[in-house]
Structure 1
Amino acid sequence: MADSLDRSTNINLLKEPLVKKLCDVLDKSNHKGWRKLGEIVGNDKRFKVSSDDMEMCSLRVLEVEGSPSLMLLRLMGERGCTTNHLIDYLQSLGNSEALQCLKSPALQILIQPQSVALICGHNLRLSCHAVGKSPVQYQWFKSREEVPNSTSPDLVISPVHLKDAGFYICRVNSGDVCEFSQWAQVDVLNVGMSYGHSYHSLDGRVKLVMQPQFQRLHVGETLQLECGAVGRPIPRYQWHRNGVPIPNTTKRKLMIPHVMQEHHGRYRCEITSSTERMWTNEVDVVIAPRISVQITGAMECSEDDIYAIGEGSSDLFLNSIPEQLYATDKVALLIGNLSYQNHPQLKAPMVDVYDLTNILRQLNFKVVSLLDLTESEMRNAVDEFLLLLHKGVYGLLYYAGHGYENYGNSFMVPVDAPNPYRSANCLCVQSILKLMQEKETGLNVFLLDMCRKRNIHDDSTPNIVLRVTANIVFGYATCQDAEAFELSSTGFTNGVFVRFLKKRLLDDEKITVVLDRVAEDMGQFDATKGKQALEIRSSLSERRALTDPILPGDSVDLVHAQSHQWAKAHELPESMCLNFDCGAQIKLGFAAEFSNVLVIYTHIVKKPEDMSFCQAHVTDFSHDLDVDPKEMNRETPEETGIYLLSSSLPQHCLYTRLSSLQKLKEELVFTVCLQGTFAAMDDDHPIHWTKSINIGKPLIARLDLHRAMRRNSCLQTCLMPHSPSHSPCHSPGPEHHLHLYHGSHHSQDYNRLSPQHHYMDIYEHPHGAMGGFGVSYYDNLSQCGYEPAYDSGGVLGSPGRCSIPIEASDDINELQTVFINSLQLQPQ
C-alpha cells in the first residue's frame, strides 16, 4: 500500500489531485468520514486535534466548495502528520476507499496529449507517456478508428494533411490494466505561402496566420468569413459584428446563408487561449440590394449590367466601395542592438523587437528578429531581407539602437562599431531603400528608433539618388538633430516610441494615419514632452495599410523559393526523448525567443524507482556562442536571462539560453549529461551518463550571417565614395590605421557627451507606470550626445505561469462517451 509514496512525507506535501480525491471520499462518507477521522487523531496526543479544531473544520461546509476534510488534513500536516501516520489512521477508520486513494497505481499517465492547431504541410506530434508496474504498450486512435502503425508514445504525422484533422486518443496498457489518455483535438489549417510559412515550430504561443477578407455580397447570397491561428492549446474563436459578439459563432469559419441588409457591418474575430488574447483585422461586409432599372419601359437590366444611361436620362449613382489594396507578400526585418562593445549599453531594444515581432506576425508578416549584430552580420541580414522583395511586396525594416543622421541620411550603428564611428562602419538606411525600390515593392516602411543627432566625426556626403515613387513611409522616433529616449529603471520595458506604437499597429488604417496617432499619443507623454517627438515622412498616395490582405502575384514560383529560404530562419529542432542505460528518460525541448536566440530546456520524464537523485543538464557548447556556464541549466527561465518567453515555457525544467546564433559556423553539437545516485549506494557521489546531441543549424544559423563577405549589394551601396575610412570588412591598410588613430584624438570630446553628463530624473505618475508589477516607480530619462540615449527599460514582471488545459469542449466529452462504449463492445 502507498508503494509510490514516501511514507515519511508530510501530508501537506502530497500532490493536489491526490489530496482532492481523498477529501472527496472523506467529505461524502457519513460513518467513516472526516469526523470519525478527527476523533481518532484527537486521541493521539502527538497531533492535538481539539474539539475547537473540529468545530472550525465543520464551518467549512458553509463556504462555496468548502471541504472540512481538507481543513482537517492541513491542521494535521501543520502539526507534523506524515503519510505513514495517515495510512494508520485510515486503517483504524476502516475506510478502504480512502486507503485506495493512497495506493500506488498500476498504471499512471504522466504526459497527456495536447490539442493543437497547425498548418497543413507541417509536422504533427502528439505525446502520451505513462509508467506502470509492467511494460507499457500504446495504441493511438482517431475518433473510433485505430491509427495504423501508431504503437509508440509519440504519434507523428509528417507532413500533416487536412484529412488528419480530428480527435485523437491514446490507449495505454500495462499487464491487464488499461487507461485512456485525454482527448486531443487537431485542427489543420490550409494556409497558402502568403500566410506565415515561418511558423515551423509551435512554442506554446498562439500565432495568427489567416485573416478574414473584405466581402461584397447581394441580399440572399452566403456570407463566408474565415480566420485561423496555430498553437497549443488549440485556440478558441468568437466572431463580432460592429463590436458586439455574434451568438453561436465560435468556429474558425463564419457562415451566414441568405444574408439580409441587417448583416451589413464590420466583422472581426476574437482569438483566445489559456494565456493570450488577440484580434483579427476588422473587415467590411457590404450587403447590396438587388436593383433592377427599367429604361423606356421596354428593357430591364440588373445592377451588374448597368454601365451607362443614354442621353437625356438621369445618371444613376450607386454607393461606391473603395478599391481593396493588396500586398503580394509581407516581409519584416527587425534589428535591436543593445550590447555595444565600445558604446553605452542599451536595454529597451530587446523588449521592443520582441513585442513588434508578435504584432507583425498577427498582420501576416514574415518576420526575422535579431539582436546584437556586427556590421557584417547586419549587412548579410539585409541581403537576405532584400532577397524576399519583389513586385508588390510590403517590406518593413525596424531598427532600435545607436544611430545618427548626416545630410539627410540615417545611419544604423552595429555593436562592433569603433569609437568614434563613421559612415563606413555603419549601414545607411537610404542606401537600403534604394535597393528596395529596385525590387518594385508595393510599400516600404522604415521605423527607426534611434537618435538623429549629427555625427561630428563623419564629414562624408553620400550621393544617393532615389527613384520618385509613391510607396515610402519613414517613422522616425525623434525629430531631426534630436535624441531618442528610453525610460531607465531596474528591469525591462519598451522604449518611448514602441510603447505607443504597439498600441496602434493593428489598427486597420492607412499606415500614415496610424503613425499620426502614435505621434499624438507621444505628444501627451509628460516624461518626453518637448524633448522627443515622432517625425513622419511619406510619399504614400494610396491607402496602403499594414492590415492589407495578401494576394500573391504572378511570380508564384519565385515567391515559393524565396519563402523557403526565409523559412530557414525559423526552423526549430524537434523535441526529443533521450533514454539512458540506467532506465531514466529525459525530454529535451527547444523554443525561440528571437530568430537568433534559442532556448533549451530539459525535463526528467522517467527515473528508476531506486534512484534517489536524478538531474539532467546540457554542456559542451561551441565556442562560437560564448555561453557562460554560470547562466546555463538554471531552475527558472529568468535566472538564465529568459524574461520575455518565460510564460510560454513548460515548468519544472532546467533552462539554458543561447544567443548570437548567427555566429555559429558549424552544426550545433552539445552534450546532455545525466547525474544520478541510488539508494543502495554507500556514498552520495553521483554517477554520470552522457549523450552527444547534434541539432544541425537552428533558426538564423542556417543563413550563415557570420561570413564577412557574402554578397556585394548592400555593402557596395552603403559604402560612400567620399568616406574618410574603409569598411572593416576589408583588410585594413596603413591608411585605415591612420584614420582610426586620428579618431582617437576626439575621444575626450566624445566622453564629454556621454550619458553620465547628460542625465535627468523624470517622475512618471503611477497610473502611467509601465509593465511588470503594477507599482509606481521613478523613471530616469537618459540622454546621450550625438548618439541615441536608448538606455534602459522599466520593470518587466515575470508573467504568472498557467497550466495549459487539455481541450474539454462538449464535442470531446460526447466523443469520449461514444468511443469508450464502442471499445467495450470490441474483443481484446
Structure 2
Amino acid sequence: MKSWRHAHSRSWNLEEVQVGIFCRCCQRRPAASSICSAVLTGWATLLRFSYFPASLISSSTVQESVQIMVQPESQLVAEGKRASLICQAVGPPGFGYQWFCGKQEVTNATCHELVFSPVTQQTSGWYICRVHCGTNFVFSKWAQVIVNKASSPSPVGGFCPTMDGLCILKQPQSCIVEEGDLLELSCTAIGNPPPQYQWFQNGTLIQGAKHSSFKVRLATTAERGRYCCRVYNFFREVWSLEVHVEVGPRLHIIENFWHNTEIPLEPADSSVRLHASDKVALLIGNMNYLHHKVLKAPMVDVHELTNLLRQLDFKVVSLLDLSKSEMQMAVKEFLLLLDKGVYGLLYYAGHGYENFGNSFMVPIDAPHSYTSEHCLCVQSLLQSMQERQTGLNVFLLDMCRKRNMNDDILPQVGALKVTANIVFGYATCADAEAYEISQGELSNGIFVSFLKKWLLKDEKITVLLDKVAEDMGTCEITKGKQALELKSNLSEWRALTDRIMSVEGSEGFSVRNLQWAKAHVLPESQHLLFDCGIKVQLGFAAEFSNVLIIYTQIVDIPEGIPECEAKITDIAEDLDMDLKFTNKESPEATNSLLFTARSFMFPDRCLYTRICGLQKLKKELTFTICLQYRYQEIDDYIQENRSVNIGKPLVSKLNLQEDGSVGVSRAQLPVASVESCQDGIVYLFQDPGSVDTSLGPTPPCLCGDVSDDSHHSSYCFSGQWEPMLAGLQQANVPEENQSPDTVMTP
C-alpha cells in the first residue's frame, strides 16, 4: 500500500508539471501550440506509464475515455457582433470543458461553446479547449479569432479556413522610409494548424525573419529591394504579394500625398519659395583629445543632428575624433560637394576658441599649448565656400569662444565677399564657454538640446535660431553663463526645409550624389561556410561616416557540435584598435552608446566589434574570422580561420589620412599660418575677485585646467588657483574638471 500511495502522490505532481511545460511552450510561440498539445499528450502517456501499473492504464485510455468530435475553427468576426467557438466531445459521464486563450484560462468558460457577445478587439487571440475526465484529458486543435474593425476590408468572399486551410488576411505594403528610421512590413494570415512565416528579400531568404511582422530598427540602403513572405503550415503554403521598399532621403511627391506633415511644403507667408540646388552638411565631433580633457556630448550631438538633417534631405558626412590633417581633408571633400546654389552647413562640437572675431576648431592631436597653427579657421572655410557660389552658408559652432593667449599674431583671413547668405549660430557668446549636460554616458550639449527641438520646423533659418536662443534663455543651470549668439547677413527667406531643385541637365548633382555615396557605402553582408559545416554571417552597420560596427552570427550549426564561437582577429594595424572593445556580446560593450542589440535583426548569438577612425585606414580593411568549436563528447576545441577583405568601407575611400597640404589650395585649407596669428586663449582661472559670485557656482569649462591637481577642485573659479594666475602665459591650455553639477563646459 505504501507504494500505491507513493504512486498516486507522484501522479498529481506530474499533472502539475505537464501543465507548466505546456504553458511555457505556448507563451514562447503560440503559433506552434497545436504541435505542443500533441507532444504533451504523448508525454502524459509516457510519464504515467512510469508511475502507474500497466493494468490500470494503457496508451489508449485517454482516447477511449474522451474523444473530440467537433473541433473549434478559426474565425474572422466583425467587431460588435456575436461569435462563438464550439468544441464537441463524447465520453463517459462526468467529463468537462475548459477553454484557454493562449496560456490564460478563460474564466467561467466550462461548456462546449465559448461565446463572445459582443466581440471586442480584446477578443482576438488563439484559443484551445481542454476536455477532461478525472485525471485524463485531451486538447482540441487551436483556433484563432481575428476581429475585423468596421472600417477594415474583409477577405475576398469572406473565406474562413478549415482545419487544412490557409489564407492571407493582410498583405504587406510597399513603402518609402528614410535612412535611420524603422522599416516594418506586415503579413497576417489565418489557418489551422496556425501559419508560420518566412520573409524573403530579392528572392533570398532572410535569416531569422520568421514572424508575421518584419522589422529593421535602423534602415539603411541595404534594405532597398523587393520583399515577399512565404506563409505555410503542415498542409499548405501561400505567398504574399511582392512589395517594393525604398530607403533614402525624404521624398515630397504631392500627387501621391507623400510628405512630412511636420514640414509644410511651402511657407505660409511666402508667395515665391526659394530652393536649393542641393544640400550638404559636414558634422565633426571631437571628443577623445590626446592632450586635453575628453568630452562626452559631441558624439550624441552629431548623431542626433545627422538623423534630423537627413530628414531635411541633406547629404550628411558625420565624423568623430579628427586630427588636424584629417580635418583638413574632410573640409576639402566637403568643398567638393558644394556648387552654385547648394546649401552648405557645418556643425562642429569640441574644443575651440576665438581670436579677433575668427573662430578656431581644435583637432584631437593639438598640443597642450596650441595656437592657430594647430587649428582650423572657420572664416577661412567660409571664404572657400563663397568661392563655390553656395546658396546658403550655415555654421553651427558648439564650442568655447574664449581668447587664446598663446596666439599673439593677428589672423590674416582676407576679405569676405558680400553674398548676403551667411548665418553663424554660436552656442555661446564671445569670450564665454559652451556647456554640455552630463547624464550618465549619453550627454547632450546645451546648444543641441534646444536646437533639435526646432531644427525640422519650416522657419527662416535666422528666425529658427532666434527661437532656439529664446528657449536657451529659460535654462536655469546656464543662465548668466551661456547664451546663443546669432550673426547673419541673410537677405532672403531661406530655410533648411527648402526643397531641392537641381538644374535641368546638371551633371554636378549626379557627381555630388556619387561623391557622397562613395563615403557611405557599407560592405556587403557575407556568409562564410567553414569546413566543419558551420555557417557564419558577417554583417555591418555604420554608426558614423568613420565608425563601423561589424557583427558575426553563427546561423547554421551541424548536429554534434554543441559549442562554437566566431571572433574577429588580426584587424588592420592602421586603426590602432583597442582589443577590449572587440567581440562583445552587445554593441554597448563595444563602447557604442547609440546602438543596442535591438538595433540589429539578429541579437542572438552575435558578437559585435566597433571600429573607429576609419579615416586613418591606408589600405583595404582585412581581418580574420576565427571559428572555435568542439564536437560532442570531446573536450578539446578545434580552430578554423578565414581571412576576410571588405575593401575600404565608408569614409576610408576618401583617403583622409593623406597630408592635407597636398594638391589643395590655401582657400581649401582653412588653417591659419603661424605668421597670421596674434592672440590666444584667456584662461578660465581668473582672479576670484573678478568673478560675479551672484550667479552661483560656475561649472567647469571644457577649455580645461592648468594643473594636474585640477581634479581636487569641483569648480573652476577656485581660490587655490590664485598663485598660478601670474604665470598663465607659460601654463598649458586649461583642461576641464568634473563637476557635481549636471552641466559641464566645453
Q: Shorter-chain TM-score category?
A: 0.5 to 0.7
Is 1:168 the counterpart of 2:228? The answer is yes
Given that residues 493 and 794 in structure 1 are in contact (C-alpha distance below 8 angstroms), is that contact kept between their aligned partners in structure 2? no
Given that residues 317 and 545 in structure 2 are in contact (C-alpha distance below 8 angstroms), is that contact kept between their aligned partners in structure 1? yes
1:756-812 C-alpha deviation (Å, 9 max, x unpaired): 656279xxxxxxxxxxxxxxxxxxxxxx997696979999xxxxxxxxxxxxxxxxx
Shift of 1:96: 8.9
Shift of 1:459: 1.3
Given that residues 368 and 733 in structure 2 are in contact (C-alpha distance below 8 angstroms), is that contact kept between their aligned partners in structure 1? no
Return the index of the structure with the highest Cα Rg. Answer: 2
Shift of 1:117: 5.1
| Distance in 1 separating the partners of 2:264 and 2:737 | 34
Matching residue of 2:243: 186
Amino acid at match of 2:621: L
From 387, 396, 409, the equivalent of 1:447 is 396
Which deviates more, 458-467 or 469-478?
Answer: 458-467
Matching residue of 1:400: 349
From 338, 347, 352, the equivalent of 2:296 is 347
| Distance in 2 separating the partners of 1:32 and 1:371 | 60
Amino acid at match of 1:283: L
Q: Tell me how large the CA RMSD over aligned residues is.
A: 4.7
Shift of 1:211: 3.0
| Distance in 1 separating the partners of 2:285 and 2:409 | 25
What pairs up with 1:212-291 in 2 under 5 angstroms? 225-227=257-259, 268-269=260-261, 279=262, 281-284=263-266
Shift of 1:561: 1.7
| Cα 1:641–1:536 shift into 2, 3 Å | same
Is 1:703 the counterpart of 2:645? The answer is no
From 631, 637, 647, the equivalent of 1:678 is 631
Given that residues 714 and 738 in structure 2 are in contact (C-alpha distance below 8 angstroms), is that contact kept between their aligned partners in structure 1? no
| Distance in 2 separating the partners of 1:32 and 1:719 | 82
Is 1:583 the counterpart of 2:533? The answer is yes
SS of match in other structure, 2:519: helix
| Distance in 2 separating the partners of 1:424 and 1:687 | 55
| Cα 1:180–1:627 shift into 2, 3 Å | farther
Q: Report the count of equivalent residues.
A: 553
From 321, 335, 340, the equivalent of 1:372 is 321
From 316, 323, 326, the equivalent of 2:275 is 326
| Distance in 1 separating the partners of 2:429 and 2:337 | 31
| Distance in 1 separating the partners of 2:491 and 2:267 | 25
Given that residues 32 and 93 in structure 1 are in contact (C-alpha distance below 8 angstroms), is that contact kept between their aligned partners in structure 2? no
| Distance in 1 separating the partners of 2:287 and 2:341 | 33
| Cα 1:527–1:114 shift into 2, 3 Å | farther
Is 1:476 the counterpart of 2:438? The answer is no
Given that residues 453 and 785 in structure 1 are in contact (C-alpha distance below 8 angstroms), is that contact kept between their aligned partners in structure 2? no
From 599, 606, 627, the equivalent of 2:556 is 606
| Cα 1:568–1:19 shift into 2, 3 Å | closer
SS of match in other structure, 1:484: coil
| Distance in 1 separating the partners of 2:358 and 2:710 | 23
What pairs up with 1:109-120 in 2 under 5 angstroms? none
| Distance in 2 separating the partners of 1:695 and 1:794 | 45
| Cα 1:356–1:639 shift into 2, 3 Å | same
| Distance in 2 separating the partners of 1:636 and 1:95 | 44
Matching residue of 1:563: 513
| Distance in 2 separating the partners of 1:469 and 1:677 | 69
| Cα 1:348–1:688 shift into 2, 3 Å | same
Given that residues 37 and 139 in structure 2 are in contact (C-alpha distance below 8 angstroms), is that contact kept between their aligned partners in structure 1? no
SS of match in other structure, 1:335: strand
Matching residue of 1:209: 250
Matching residue of 1:513: 463
| Distance in 2 separating the partners of 1:353 and 1:486 | 13
TM-score of the pair, normalised by structure 1: 0.59
Matching residue of 2:707: 751
Matching residue of 2:622: 669
What pairs up with 1:395-474 in 2 under 5 angstroms? 395-464=344-413, 465-474=415-424
Is 1:722 the counterpart of 2:732? The answer is no
| Distance in 1 separating the partners of 2:205 and 2:545 | 32
Shift of 1:657: 0.3
| Cα 1:61–1:471 shift into 2, 3 Å | farther
Shift of 1:284: 4.6
Matching residue of 2:580: 630
From 574, 599, 602, the equivalent of 1:648 is 599
Is 1:388 the counterpart of 2:355? The answer is no
Amino acid at match of 2:459: E
| Distance in 1 separating the partners of 2:335 and 2:740 | 31
| Distance in 2 separating the partners of 1:412 and 1:422 | 11
| Distance in 1 separating the partners of 2:226 and 2:739 | 48
Amino acid at match of 1:585: K
Matching residue of 2:79: none
| Distance in 2 separating the partners of 1:481 and 1:577 | 56
SS of match in other structure, 1:693: strand
Given that residues 575 and 612 in structure 2 are in contact (C-alpha distance below 8 angstroms), is that contact kept between their aligned partners in structure 1? yes
| Distance in 2 separating the partners of 1:581 and 1:16 | 37
Shift of 1:226: 2.8
Amino acid at match of 1:712: V
SS of match in other structure, 2:257: strand
SS of match in other structure, 2:373: helix
Shift of 1:380: 0.2
Given that residues 331 and 668 in structure 2 are in contact (C-alpha distance below 8 angstroms), is that contact kept between their aligned partners in structure 1? no
Q: What is the aligned-residue identity percentage?
A: 47
Which deviates more, 503-512 or 712-721?
Answer: 712-721
1:670-712 C-alpha deviation (Å, 9 max, x unpaired): 111111111142xx22111121111000000000101123432
| Distance in 2 separating the partners of 1:12 and 1:617 | 37
Shift of 1:554: 5.2
| Cα 1:42–1:479 shift into 2, 3 Å | farther
Given that residues 487 and 793 in structure 1 are in contact (C-alpha distance below 8 angstroms), is that contact kept between their aligned partners in structure 2? no
| Cα 1:151–1:551 shift into 2, 3 Å | closer
TM-score of the pair, normalised by structure 2: 0.65
Shift of 1:538: 0.6
SS of match in other structure, 2:381: helix
| Cα 1:167–1:434 shift into 2, 3 Å | closer
Gaps of 5+ in 2: 1-16, 53-96, 108-131, 143-170, 186-197, 208-220, 679-702, 718-730
